[in-house]
A and B are shown apart, each in its own frame.
Chain A
Amino acid sequence: MMNRFMQSRLRGLIVLALILIILPAFLANSFHYELVTQMAILAATVVGLNLLVGYAGQISLGHAGFFGLGAYFSGIATGTYGWPSVPALLVGAILVAIIAWVVGRPILRLKGHYLSMATLAVGFIIAIILNNERDFTGGPDGMPVPALEVFGWELSAFGQYSLFGLTIEGFQAWYIFASVVLLVAVWFALNLIESPIGRALRSVHGSEVAASVVGVNTAKYKSLVFVISAIYASLMGGLYAHFQGFITPAVASFEFSILFITMVVLGGMGSTFGVILGAVVLKLLPQVLADFQELETVMFGLILMLTMIFMPKGLLPTLTAIVSRRMRKKAGGEA
Chain B
Amino acid sequence: MTALVEVKGLDKAFGGVHAVEGVSFAVEAGQVYSVIGPNGAGKTTLFNLITGLYIPTKGEIRLNGESTARLEPNQLAERGMCRTFQQMQICMNMTAIENVMLGRHLQLKSNLFTTLFRLPSLRRDEESAHRRAAELMEYVGCGQYVGAEASAMSYGALKRLEIARALAAEPKVILLDEPAAGLNATETAALEDLIRKIADQGITVMLVEHDMKLVMGISDRLLVLDHGRVLAEGTPEEIRQNPDVIAAYLGG
A residues contacting B by CB (< 8 A) are 1-2, 188, 191-192, 194-200, 202-203, 205-207, 209-218, 270
A197, B92: Cβ atoms closer than 8 Å: no
Closest 5 CB pairs of A and B: A206-B91, A215-B77, A210-B89, A215-B106, A212-B73
B73, A213: Cβ atoms closer than 8 Å: yes
Q: Which residues of B have CB within 8 Å of A217?
A: 72, 74
B103, A214: Cβ atoms closer than 8 Å: yes
B147, A1: Cβ atoms closer than 8 Å: yes
* Contact A191:B118 (CB < 8 A) given known A1-B147, A203-B102, A207-B89: yes
Q: Which residues of A have CB within 8 Å of B193?
A: none
Q: Find A196's partner among B90, B110, B117 (CB 8 Å cutoff).
A: B110
Q: Find B90's partner among A194, A202, A206 (CB 8 Å cutoff).
A: A206
B74, A197: Cβ atoms closer than 8 Å: no
Q: What CA separation (Å) do A213 and B51 show in the bound complex?
A: 7
Give the size range of B's interface with the partner.
35 or more
B126-138 interface code vs A (CB 8 A; 1 in, 0 out): 1101100000000
B74-105 interface code vs A (CB 8 A; 1 in, 0 out): 10111001110100011111100111011111
B2 proximal to A (CB < 8 A)? no
Can you list 17 pairs linking A and B with CB atoms under 8 Å apart?
A2-B127, A188-B116, A191-B115, A199-B101, A200-B102, A203-B94, A203-B102, A206-B91, A210-B85, A210-B102, A211-B74, A211-B91, A212-B53, A213-B74, A214-B105, A216-B102, A218-B74
A197, B118: Cβ atoms closer than 8 Å: no
* Contact A200:B91 (CB < 8 A) given known A209-B73, A210-B165, A213-B77: no
What is the CB-to-nearest-CB distance from A314 to chain B, in angstroms, rounded to a whole number? 13
* Contact A215:B89 (CB < 8 A) given known A2-B127, A199-B98: no
Q: What CA separation (Å) do A214 and B162 show in the bound complex?
A: 11
B17 proximal to A (CB < 8 A)? no
B112 proximal to A (CB < 8 A)? yes
* Contact A207:B90 (CB < 8 A) given known A195-B115, A196-B105, A199-B98: yes
Q: Find A192's partner among B90, B106, B116, B130 (CB 8 Å cutoff).
A: B116
Q: Which residues of B have CB within 8 Å of A212?
A: 53, 72-74, 77
Chain B residue with the shortest CB-CB distance to A55: B93
Q: What CA separation (Å) do A211 and B89 show in the bound complex?
A: 9
Q: What CA separation (Å) do A195 and B105 show in the bound complex?
A: 10
Q: What CA separation (Å) do A189 and B30 show in the bound complex?
A: 43
Q: Which residues of B have CB within 8 Å of A198?
A: 115
Q: Which residues of A have CB within 8 Å of B3?
A: none
Q: Which residues of B have CB within 8 Å of A196?
A: 101, 104-105, 108, 110, 115, 125-126, 129
Q: Which residues of B have CB within 8 Å of A202?
A: 91, 93-94, 98
B residues contacting A by CB (< 8 A) are 51, 53, 72-74, 76-78, 81-83, 85, 89-94, 97-99, 101-106, 108, 110, 112, 115-118, 122, 125-127, 129-130, 146-147, 162, 165-166, 168-169
| Binding site secondary structure of chain A | helix
Q: What CA separation (Å) do A1 and B98 show in the bound complex?
A: 12
Q: What CA separation (Å) do A108 and B139 show in the bound complex?
A: 38
Q: Which residues of A have CB within 8 Å of B110?
A: 195-197
B168, A214: Cβ atoms closer than 8 Å: yes
Q: What CA separation (Å) do A210 and B100 show in the bound complex?
A: 11
* Contact A209:B102 (CB < 8 A) given known A191-B116, A203-B91, A214-B82: no
Q: Find A210's partner among B91, B117, B122, B125 (CB 8 Å cutoff).
A: B91
Q: What CA separation (Å) do A293 and B36 show in the bound complex?
A: 66
Q: Which residues of A have CB within 8 Å of B90?
A: 206-207, 210
Q: Which residues of A have CB within 8 Å of B116?
A: 188, 191-192
Q: Which residues of B have CB within 8 Å of A188?
A: 116
* Contact A206:B74 (CB < 8 A) given known A1-B146, A213-B82: no
Q: Which residues of A have CB within 8 Å of B81?
A: 213
Q: Which residues of A have CB within 8 Å of B82?
A: 213-214
B74, A209: Cβ atoms closer than 8 Å: no
Interface-centre pick from A2, A198, A210, A217 (highest chain B CB count, 10 A): A210
Other A-B pairs, 18, CB within 8 Å; known A202-B91, A213-B77, A214-B106: A2-B130, A191-B116, A192-B116, A194-B118, A194-B126, A195-B110, A195-B115, A196-B105, A196-B108, A197-B115, A202-B94, A205-B93, A206-B91, A206-B93, A207-B90, A212-B53, A212-B77, A213-B53
Q: What CA separation (Å) do A206 and B91 show in the bound complex?
A: 4
Q: Which residues of A have CB within 8 Å of B83?
A: 213
Q: What CA separation (Å) do A82 and B147 show in the bound complex?
A: 55
B94, A206: Cβ atoms closer than 8 Å: yes
Q: Which residues of B have CB within 8 Å of A203?
A: 91, 94, 102
Q: What CA separation (Å) do A217 and B105 show in the bound complex?
A: 10
Q: What CA separation (Å) do A213 and B125 show in the bound complex?
A: 21
A270, B93: Cβ atoms closer than 8 Å: yes
Interface-centre pick from A200, A215, A218 (highest chain B CB count, 10 A): A215
